[in-house]
Structure 1
Amino acid sequence: MAFQFLCSAHRQQLAQDASVAQARWDEWMAAGRRAFAEREWRMAVRYLGCSFELSDLLLTSERVPSLTSLDRFMVSGHFLAECFANTGNTDLQQHCLLAVHHRLLKVLRSPDGRALPLQRNVEFSLQMLGRFYEEEGNRDAFEHCQRESRRLLQRCYH
């Protein structure tokens, strides 16, 4: 992930204690959702960006990704993408949506990830990507992504 919202001191501190990191994620998501609801996009990006980066940090620290950590990553990434959409930053919106989707597929491809019930996560991620590519007039890019994602889902769950 290319985004950097946390300073190195906070990143290091949060990497050392997962329970503190999870509590910060909850706090920052709540603040980000409030700012989002009030259409305060710059403030929402700050909180949601920190939540997204923190959820990536939590996922990376787990040998086997948990469904809770993947949900955190997905929710914060999709909220952040919506903030970028509302500020006209479609490149950053796309980056967030693809980061979430690629992480889900990466986990799904792993032996440990196949044991997780990720079908709904991948389907929701595809809906978000489909909406984005439809608005951008780039249906071909989405169809390729959708085809590959469905093929992987088929292989893992049927």
Structure 2
Amino acid sequence: MNLRYLCANHRQWLIDNTGRAEQAWLDWIERGRILCEEGNYREAIPYLGCAFDVAGMLLTQQSPSYTISATRFSESAAQLMAAYRKLGDEKHLQYLLVGASSVLARQLGDRDKQGLAADCISALYADGESAPPHNGGGPRLHKEAGLSLH
């Protein structure tokens, strides 16, 4: 299963300009949120999916920083998973959970990134379904990211 939401042309267009990519992420995540609040989950998935794709690209580039890009990546994954959950699409939800967790798990070997990476992974499991063992309480949020995970 391949969960790519952006076509190759849009992907390259955004990779070529991180400022444009960040603005696209902000626009798409907000539009997806609004559609979900209205109960239009099926319509929200393309927006949230594109935001997730862009967040993955920005995470690879660590733009504008690792903290912000990792937080945005996990926030995008969590919102997209929530939309799939509302539609009852367990297959896509689980595929996304495993894929996003794997991307973040690659950072666990880096001492400077492992705390945030672990928190972002925990946030993906925050709904209580299939949650891994946790060191007490909910995921810590990193203030420097300026974002919270939902």
TM-score tier, shorter chain, comes to 0.7 to 0.9
Unaligned runs of 5+ in 2: 136-150
Determine the structure 1 residue equivalent to 2:129.
132
Residues 56-111 of structure 1 show CA distances to partners (whole Å, capped at 9, x for unaligned) of: 11112339x60100111101101100111111110111112222222222112235
C-alpha RMSD of matched pairs (Å): 2.5
Unaligned runs of 5+ in 1: 134-141, 151-158
Determine the structure 2 residue equivalent to 1:120.
119
Q: Percent identity?
A: 25
Secondary structure at the residue paired with 2:108? helix
Q: Could you tell me how far apart the structure 1 residues matched to 2:32 and 2:124 are?
A: 20
Determine the structure 2 residue equivalent to 1:59.
59
Contact 1:6/1:50 (8 A) holds in 2: yes
Deviation at 1:7, TM superposition (A): 1.3
In structure 2, give the amino acid aligned to 1:132: E
Bigger radius of gyration among the two: 1
Contact 1:94/1:132 (8 A) holds in 2: no
Q: Could you tell me how far apart the structure 2 residues matched to 1:101 and 1:86 are?
A: 20
Q: Could you tell me how far apart the structure 2 residues matched to 1:11 and 1:5 are?
A: 9
Residues 130-156 of structure 1 show CA distances to partners (whole Å, capped at 9, x for unaligned) of: x333xxxxxxxx5xxx25x87xxxxxx
Determine the structure 2 residue equivalent to 1:45.
45
Deviation at 1:15, TM superposition (A): 0.4
- Structure possessing the higher relative contact order (Cα contacts under 8 Å, 6 or more residues apart): 2
* CA distance 1:84–1:117, shift in 2 (3 Å): closer
Normalized per residue, the structure richer in helix is 1
Determine the structure 2 residue equivalent to 1:153.
none
- Equivalent residues, number: 135
Secondary structure at the residue paired with 1:127? coil
Determine the structure 2 residue equivalent to 1:89.
89
Contact 1:78/1:96 (8 A) holds in 2: no
TM-score, structure 1 as length reference? 0.74
1:33 aligns with 2:30: no
Q: Could you tell me how far apart the structure 1 residues matched to 2:99 and 2:73 are?
A: 9
Q: Could you tell me how far apart the structure 2 residues matched to 1:98 and 1:68 are?
A: 21
